[in-house]
Structure 1
Amino acid sequence: MLIQSLATLLSSSWVIRAAHAQQRPVSERSVGQRMMAAYVEILSREFPGLDTEVFNYVTGVLDSGSGDFESVDDLFDAVGEVLCEMSGDSKNEDDIREICQKMFNTLQINARNSSTKVLLDAPVQLSKIADAYDPLSDPLRGIWMTKRDQSTTVNAKKLEKAEARLKAKQDKRSEKDSQKSTAPVVLEEASASQASNKKEARIELSGKNKSYDVRIENFDIAFGERTLLMGADLNLSYGRRYGLIGRNGLGKTTLLKMIASHNLRVPSHISILHVEQEVVGDDTRALQSVLECDTLRERLLREEKDLNAMINAGQADGTESTQLSEIYAKLEEIEADKAPARASIILAGLGFNPKMQQQTTKEFSGGWRMRLALARALFAKPDLLLLDEPTNMLDVRAIIWLENYLQTWESTIFVVSHDRNFLNAVATDIVHLHSQRLDTYRGDYENFLKTKEERLKNQQREYEAQQQYREHIQVFIDRFRYNANRASQVQSKLKLLERLPELKAIEKETEVILRFPDQFEKLSPPVLQLDEVIFCYSPEKPVFTNLNVSADLESRICVVGENGAGKSTMLKILMGDLTPISGIRHAHRNLKLGYFSQHHVDQLDLNVSAVELLAKKFPGKSEEEYRHQLGSYGVSGELAVRPVISLSGGQKSRVAFAQMTMPCPNFYILDEPTNHLDMETIEALAKALNNFKGGVILVSHDERLIRLVCKELWVCDNGGVRRVDGGFDEYKEILQEQFRKEGYI
């Protein structure tokens, strides 16, 4: 029955295919024939005795409808029933489905390899062609164009079901595409839970808790459905400085936010300040913005002003003098007269010169407003200061000043940082976030590395010793299990095994590996050069005068200098993005630059996944190639298909690295590449840059990366660039001497 119904369909199928052939050039038909060859060969091999009409029908369906098959189920629905009926008892449904899978695979390969899409110039109206056909004038054409009797043996119900299925799939696909393009990205939210402690709750309610130590016990933190911490404990002793470290994406920033928002219980009398958001720009001057953080001083000054106004207006009732005396005593007690000088020192240390301190906050860029937020926090002196990557917004000079300033901090600091040298200078303890728990180590970062390594060795030795002991007991049990005389001993050994604590083998963290492709030819120097360059944004304030620098494929150059000295401007002139007023920029004709921006996140489309991001930027490759590129930088598995906006700062940086290296540049210009990267990734970045066979110019404040990579140190200042022969040590000593002269340390 089914075979008979196919005969009626075949003529229309052949008409459509003939119409396509009339529209396509010969070369396109030959491509299509090559594409058909694979599944035609499978059909011929698996069904050697297949009826010619059925064979033509199946190949016609596969040839014309391959784009509609989203899965092997779609293909099986289209031709599986026909093949099952024709094979009889020789093949069951599973066999047919396996054959359909093979044909589906060939269709997918063909779809990827073929970029040619054949479209008709206009719709073919078969009924009109047939109506206009004259069989006497063109008898040969009548083979294809003769009208058939409207009575057909096609099973109408089956045909209706097939059409309904196809329409439903098309509607579903259209709806999915529509939702994908219009639906807003829904961000996951972090949540925290903590086991209740009745004793601590009673002490808190009684008001007898005078300790400034922070103890958060047995708490969990999740981000969406992903658990970040489970059953963790955090103890922060007052007056100590804790550095929080861990791989990107494990929840360091989320932990700080949960503490700052009181989602985790901290005694109410402990003041917490989390430096997270930049200062809002308004007409308040920078210095005054910092002074306003001392709310007690501000309140006392307002009261003093109001009382003096009442006295001067003759509205005093005789008690004002006493009140003023009390206010003056309190102001003297908190050393209010020294507050402006202290605020000015903090601002100066963070890079605000006297003129900038008198500017309004709305005049500053986002980076400077973040520095202002840090200055306000340092001036306010909270009981618990939470800092998240404070060195990201600072230049080398400001980092050295901050290190010195925090070493004399009297209350508690909990800081997330990737800067190894900063933690060595500041931290008295290290908190290591890993495996959904927190481990605390005494000492700075270098001491943490040694202690951690020794602890892991001891744990591994204990585990191996216990495994040998277990095996020894198990041998005894297996040997005498069925010996009645030894039954009591066997039972005793079994109980001993049950009582042994279960130790686990040490899980070593996976090594971070970055690679910069370097398959390119050598270029003769100079590869990149600036001669006598003058550049300015405004005529009255030149950024560079007579700038002379050069680099080649052997260069490993680090550029340092204060914020605003022109580091990023120089990079843009080198890349050709900015045109100098005078002077010459020379670049080798085969130079291919890769650029990592300090504000790389702004250049990423945050509403798509990392895979889609690369596909839009570099079309024409397979999804596997995009995934492989992202995987080379640690963005693999589920991370590669999540919206970029939901990734951590370090993960976004890795996506930017994957995007930058995709075209295989032979020279990299990197502007603050370590922002948000964890220490393991910074070490991997240094190794990758050292192994790279092209040139590198690097702007960075990370002392560790500078020491590992750079062979030359350029300092931007006073409208030019000078080379420091003594490297970073000499530059650091110059800055320390400046601080001593200016009285900042």
Structure 2
Amino acid sequence: RLACSESLNRKKPTAQPPRSDGGWRDDGAIREICQRLFNTLQLDEGRAQRCSQVLLDAPIQLSQITDGYDASVDLLPGLLLKRGQTSMVNAKKLEKAEARLKAKQDKRMERDSLKSSGPLVLEEASASQAASKKETRMESSGKNKSYDVRIENFDVSFGDVLLAGADLNLAFGRRYGLVGRNGLGKTTLLKMIASRSLRIPSHISILHVEQEVAGDETPALQSVLECDTTRESLLREERDLTAKVNAGRGEGTEGARLSEIYAKLEEIEADKAPARASVILAGLGFNAKMQQQTTKEFSGGWRMRLALARALFARLPTNMLDVRAILWLETYLQTWQSTILVVSHDRNFLNAVATDIIHLHSQRLDTYRGDFENFMKIKEERLKNQQREYEAQQQYREHIQVFIDRFRYNANRASQVQSKLKLLEKLSWASLTSSCLPRFPDGFEKFSPPILQLDEVDFYYDPSHYIFCSLSVSADLESRICVVGENGAGKSTMLKILMGELAPVRGIRHAHRNLKIGYFSQHHVDQLDLNISAVELLARKFPGKTEEEYRHQLGSYGISGELAVRPVASLSGGQKSRVAFAQMTMSCPNFYILDEPTNHLDMETIEALAKALNKFRGGVILVSHDERFIRLVCQELWVCENATVTRIEGGFDQYRDILKEQFRKEGFL
């Protein structure tokens, strides 16, 4: 302070010529000021000993000097503050900012260590629920005999909070369809109910059908029978007791116990169980020979059917079931006597089966009476109201902003402007939810047919069993073809022949030299590296682009923000599908072959996918069992059966009628 005041009182020198900017230059005076400033800052002898004068001949950057220092060290005490003056920096805000920065750094280090540490360890889902003393008393006293399920005020988390303060009420005998966007927690909620992490009365049994049956040496029919644990336990005990009696090792009480076992077996109609299991398996497409095959001999789709058969037998999901199985399941579940809570993205299936719809959104559950179409009507009306509210609020905001802009610098209106600014801050933002619409790039030139063709193709894995005989099909850049047929009929095999992954035994595959095919596999998750993020996945597959470009590609499929840098293994099934779509479209193919593209996708994304495919100017061949999706996209239907492919002129309606007639002949309808 002293140095500055003396320099201001000094008379301007006349010896130096004026500079072009009007100032004066006096090197001696500058050095004198610096010396006085240096002397003033030497507040004690200890500091004076540490300091020394250094004449700099070039500018320096303080940020570069302090990079190597600990932030806790006071580098220049008292230099910027007057003696006794306190800093104007908000210490609490500074601490929070530093804490946020440290948290980000720790998270990045943790993610990097996970990549280098081998196996990926994921967080587990958790649930918490407010206790109800009344329900606890009734449960402990055994007075609660109701089969209605009431789960109130509960939370579910899986890394992030999925449900907060939610309520779920399931009336006995009703069939509920649980819907919502991918990644919001539908599957996690089912797991929490199945594991009884959420309180369910002990007298209510729960059967959870989630994954395909594990492949082993157990015959398919026996696999279904074994899920009736009561019957299996009684039969096992009966065998053990009979063996003891025959071996002469009995204690005299075996006869009485065997009589009890026989009575219980008769009560549960154990002798009719094999016939009932066989009927269920037949309805799901298992013939007599297949029912005796071991579970390890079946593909993923067939094992999923086995899981479903076990659920139906023990008294429920449509993924990976073909149209025939879904049609049979719709009819079967309409006569179901217990409560059903099903997650499905098949709109027609929910219309046929569900009596109520539960919508998971915004960390809560809303229940609607009626089928899916009724739910959509109510939801669309709410969206219209939300749109009107949003537009009205935007107009009001614009009106306030015009006033603020007009009188911002008018002193007489200062108080009014301040009032309007506060009002603008207090206004809540009305938000509009919108699904992310994927886009299939089509910046390519058209070329003349033939584009893709199979001519008199034969194919087999085993010479004793032909998958195709004399198969002839063709497609061009205008094609919108859907391939249907029972699981195991050869749909995926035909797609691989069309792509050139499998070579025909006989016949010719022809593809245009400029054809670039994008392929989506029904087992697409197996083709993703689950231990790295989606951004890293694209960077490895398509090197040379910026992170912003990879993020933009993923963002167009709904994988944005923090989702793009999380390990792929931590994403939901639908989110993994979106990553696979982003990867498939990155190279801009002109023809797409899609095998079960709607598995794991929510309904809004399925609708968006259908619109994107309709806008795409290249060719499309897809395998799907989603009736609505087929109707939205496809103009041509191929039925894969009896080692060939037949074109159905009447489209999906004709195919559905054919299946219903088959069911009537087989006695299932």
| Shared fold (TM-score, shorter chain, > 0.5) | yes
Describe the shift of the 1:544–1:267 C-alpha distance in structure 2 as closer, same or farther (beyond 3 A): same
> Could you say which residue in structure 2 is the equivalent of 1:567?
491
Q: Give the Cα–Cα distance (whole angstroms) in 2 for the partners of residues 727 and 176 of structure 1.
A: 50
Aligned-pair CA distance for 1:313: 6.9
The Cα shift of 1:299 comes to 3.5
Alignment of 1:573-722 (within 5 A): 573-722=497-646
**2:142 paired residue among 203, 207, 213:** 207
State the shift of 1:392 in Å.
1.3
Q: Give 1:460 deviation, angstroms.
A: 8.0
Aligned counterpart, 1:401: 328
Q: Residue deviations 1:60-101, cap 9 Å, x none?
A: xxxxxxxxxxxxxxxxxxxxxx9x97359xxx969999xxxx
CA distance in 1, matches of 2:517, 2:393: 56
Amino acid of the residue matched to residue 158 of structure 2? F
Q: How does 1:85-484 map to 2 (within 5 A)?
A: 86-87=58-59, 180-182=115-117, 184-224=119-159, 226-305=160-239, 326-381=260-315, 387=316, 390-455=317-382
**Paired AA for residue 737 in structure 1:** E
d(CA) in 1 for partners of 2:533 and 2:479? 35
2:69 aligns with none
Identify the residue that residue 517 of structure 1 maps to in structure 2: 441
Q: Percent identity?
A: 80
Aligned to 2:96: none
What secondary structure is seen at the aligned counterpart in 2 of 1:299? helix
SS at match of 1:685: helix
Q: CA deviation at 1:635?
A: 0.7
Distance in 2 of aligned mates of 1:347 and 1:255: 29
Q: Give the residue type in structure 2 aligned to 1:639.
A: L
- Secondary structure of the structure 2 residue equivalent to 1:247: coil
TM-score, structure 1 length as denominator?
0.68
- C-alpha deviations, 1:222-263, integer Å up to 9, x for none? 112x11111000001111111111111111111111111111
Partners of 1:426 and 1:185 in 2: how far apart? 39
Instruction: Tell me if structure 1 keeps the 8 A contact 2:179–2:186.
Output: yes
Paired with 1:242 and 1:301, the residues of 2 have a C-alpha distance of 35
Give structure 1 stretches of 5+ with no counterpart: 1-81, 98-172, 382-386, 469-501
How many angstroms apart in 2 are the aligned matches of 1:344 and 1:616?
A: 49
Structure 2 Cα separation of the partners of residues 228 and 281 of structure 1? 33
Q: Kindly provide the amino acid, as one letter, of the partner of residue 714 in structure 1.
A: W
Mapped partners of 1:175, 1:690: distance in 2: 43
**C-alpha contact (below 8 Å) 2:389/2:430 kept by paired residues:** no
Q: More helix per residue: 1 or 2?
A: 1
Partner-residue secondary structure (3-state), 1:235: strand
Structure of greater relative contact order (alpha carbons < 8 Å, 6+ residues apart)? 2
Paired residue secondary structure (1:531): strand
What amino acid sits opposite 2:165 in the alignment?
A: G
Post-superposition CA distance 1:252-301 (Å, at most 9, x none): 11111111111111111111111123323333221112112222333344
1:363 aligned partner, one-letter code: E
User: Aligned to 1:355, what secondary structure does the other structure show?
Assistant: helix
Aligned residue identity for 2:361: H
- 1:179 Cα deviation after fit: 7.3
Q: CA deviation at 1:196?
A: 0.9
Answer whether contact 1:460 1:505 (CA < 8 A) is retained. Answer: no
| Preserved CA contact (<8 Å) 1:518 1:694 | yes
Shift of 1:595: 0.5
**For residues 111 and 432 of structure 2, what CA distance do their matches in structure 1 show?**
42
Q: Deviations over 1:360-391 (max 9, x none)?
A: 2233334322321221111111xxxxx3xx21
Letter in 1 for 2:617: K
Give the CA deviation at 1:646: 0.7
Contact 1:463 1:504 in 2 (8 A): no
Measure the CA separation in 2 of the matches of 1:625 and 1:318.
80
- Measure the CA separation in 1 of the matches of 2:244 and 2:549: 77
Question: Structure 1 residues 578, 93: closer, same or farther in 2, change over 3 A?
Answer: same
Q: Which runs of 5+ in 2 are unaligned?
A: 1-53, 67-107, 396-425
Deviation at 1:348, TM superposition (A): 1.4
The equivalences for 1:14-33 within 5 A come to none
Give the drift of 1:452. 2.4
CA contact (8 A) 1:217 1:233 kept: yes
Deviation at 1:316, TM superposition (A): 8.3
- Secondary structure, in 3 states, of the residue corresponding to 2:325? helix
Cα 1:85/1:395, change in 2 over 3 Å: farther
SS of residue matched to 2:548: helix
Secondary structure of the 1:273 match is: coil
Q: Which amino acid in the other structure matches residue 280 of structure 1?
A: A
Quote the residue 2:73 is aligned against. none
Moved over 6 A (4+): 92-97, 173-179, 310-322, 458-468, 502-505
Q: 1:178 to 1:706 in 2, by over 3 A?
A: closer
> How many residues are paired up?
546
Preserved contact between residue 114 and residue 120 of structure 2 (Cα < 8 Å): no
Q: State the match for 1:486 in structure 2.
A: none
State the SS of the aligned residue for 1:274: coil
- SS of the residue corresponding to residue 693 of structure 1 reads coil
Distance 2:111 2:155 in 1: 36
